[in-house]
Structure 1
Amino acid sequence: MTDSDHGTDYETIRPDREGQAEAFDAIGDRYDEAFPHKEGQVSAGQWLIESLQAGSRVLDLGCGTGVPTARQLAAAGFEVVGVDLSGGMVRLAREYVPGVTFHQLDLADLRPGGPRDLGRFDAVAAFFSLLMLPRGEIPLALRTIHHLLVPGGLFALSMVEADVDDFAIPFLGNTIRVSGYLQEDLHQVIETGGFEIVKEFSYTYAPAVADVPPEEQVFLCCRRRD
């Protein structure tokens, strides 16, 4: 799959990240304090652990502080690489999960022919990272993830079920922009992106802070179609 196959690429949709990384730089450790229970994320990580061979190479895309996913996957014996747009989050991840390689990068940097090549991965985890993109960019992100995976590679992701596009919300004393889909629409976007959904589950989650409302978290465990 190439950008030209779909008629849209990063030249026609230029990523707008204004304020996004800065918000998470400011949030820092408070993110894990606000979301202390990550059962869904841990369960999806466990699916990767049970499905992959020992020593597999895994990308944690939007790794945040590295907890729990990068830590969980590294403890399982995988070669883990973490990527996040926020320099503050990357610094925390390097502190909390020594031995894992973390990069401050934009997902767009990893696109086919892009400025950074981290090689190929047996699996990609993207927990609550795609929701930070406008809907128009999400197909490009999925194309990039498809490119990063080996044939038949695994893709675990989570989104918040909501019919919004690049919508500004207050978040832990800052403002971020988020996107979401209703369940059927999310399925269509993922399948059109070249993935087979092999497992799905959801949680109604109430964060441990007052300014973030309860949300429906959707977790999809997928396999790259070739």
Structure 2
Amino acid sequence: MTTGDDADYESLPGERGEQAAAFDAIGDRYDEAFPHKEGQLAAGEWLIRSLPSGSRVLDLGCGTGVPTARQLVDAGHEVVGVDLSSGMVDLAREKVPEATFHHLDLADLHPGGRVDLGRFDGAAAFFSLLMLPRAEIPVALRTICHLLVPGGPFVVSMVEADVDNRPIPFLGHTIRVSGYLREELRTVIETAGFDILEETSYTYAPAIADVPPEEQVFLSCRRRA
């Protein structure tokens, strides 16, 4: 297994420009392809229950802002969303104007990165880490750990698959995805500094023909104090 424990974002090759361009073009069709988000909504409810009122929450890979940023704002939290796709950020600002959204790469947020958004009481990363090569995922998780207050709750979802930066067709475009089998995913998350409190999974068949069925894994975690 490649963990990338010593990797640094600046030294890792990436194809995030290609990824961003694909999601810029996909836009609202993403929500059309994934209309049923029971797992994401349930994980968002767990996060809401785990936070003090009025918490500051990071939505990493916020997409269109629906459902997670909207769900958190409606629960009374201050939401900061980050996405690599400027098109997705524009949609999120339209759909959830009460939140703050930034067009940023996660690499911008790691310790010593070019942007300091401060600390967060909680965080969510729904299907955003799977867009990274495997070597970068542990670095991303440690970055999230750095951004959270000690004991802060974190919800994350991935598609269960033993793949690394594999190109796949997606809504008329090509994106690259990575994944782990379940036990390996748990190990990567725990090694990054989180305790896993709950795990759920859903077999999901997207509404668009060129996106195959997938096994979605949702983990509810806390940053170790």
> Is the 1:15–1:137 contact (alpha carbons within 8 Å) kept by the matching residues of 2?
no
Question: Can you list the C-alpha shifts for 1:59-87, whole angstroms capped at 9, x where unaligned?
Answer: 00000000000000000000000000000
SS of the aligned residue for 2:196 comes to strand
Distance in 2 separating the partners of 1:23 and 1:12: 24
Distance in 2 between the 1:172 and 1:86 partners? Answer: 15
TM-score normalised to structure 2 length? 0.96
CA apart distance, 1:13? 1.9
Once superposed, which parts of structure 1, at least 4 consecutive aligned residues long, lie more than 4 Å away? none
Secondary structure, in 3 states, of the residue corresponding to 1:64?
coil
Q: Is the 8 A contact 2:7 2:135 kept in 1?
A: no
Measure, in 2, the Cα distance between the counterparts of 1:15 and 1:209.
27
The amino acid that maps onto 2:60 is L
Conservation of the 8 A alpha-carbon contact between 2:22 and 2:173? yes
| Aligned counterpart, 2:191 | 192
| Residue ranges of structure 1 left out of the alignment (5+ in a row) | 1-5
Amino acid at match of 1:35: F
Provide Cα deviations, 1:111-170, integer angstroms capped at 9, x if missing partner. 001000000001110000000000000011011000000011111000000000000000
Q: Is the 8 A contact 2:7 2:136 kept in 1?
A: no
SS at match of 2:9: coil
Distance 1:27 1:20 in 2: 11
- What is the CA distance between 1:18 and its match in structure 2? 3.4
How well do the aligned residues superpose, as a CA RMSD in angstroms? 0.8
Cα distance in 1 for partners of 2:223, 2:14 equals: 25
Query: Residue type of the partner of 1:178?
Result: V
Tell me how far 1:9 sits from its aligned partner: 1.6
1:9 matched to which residue of 2?
8
**1:150-194 CA-partner distances (Å, limit 9, x unpaired):** 011111000000000000000000000000000010010000011
The one-letter code sitting in structure 2 at the alignment partner of 1:86 is: S
The one-letter code of the counterpart of 1:104 is H
Q: How many Å separate the matches in 1 of 2:185 and 2:127?
A: 13
Distance 1:209 1:7, change over 3 A: closer
Q: How does 1:105-124 map to 2 (within 5 A)?
A: 105-124=104-123
Question: AA paired with 2:92?
Answer: A
Which residue of the partner structure matches residue 155 of structure 1?
154
Question: Within 5 Å, which residues of 2 pair with 1:14-163?
Answer: 14-163=13-162
Query: Residue 3 of structure 1 aligns with which residue?
Result: none
Q: CA deviation at 1:7?
A: 2.9
Q: Offset at 1:8?
A: 2.4
Q: Give % identity.
A: 76
Shift of 1:16: 3.1
In 2, are the aligned partners of 1:58 and 1:79 still within 8 Å (CA)? yes
SS at match of 1:151: coil
Contact 1:169 1:176 in 2 (8 A): yes
Deviation at 1:11, TM superposition (A): 3.4
Query: What count of residue pairs does the alignment treat as equivalent?
Result: 221
TM-score (ref. length: structure 1): 0.96
One-letter amino acid of the counterpart of residue 56, structure 2: R
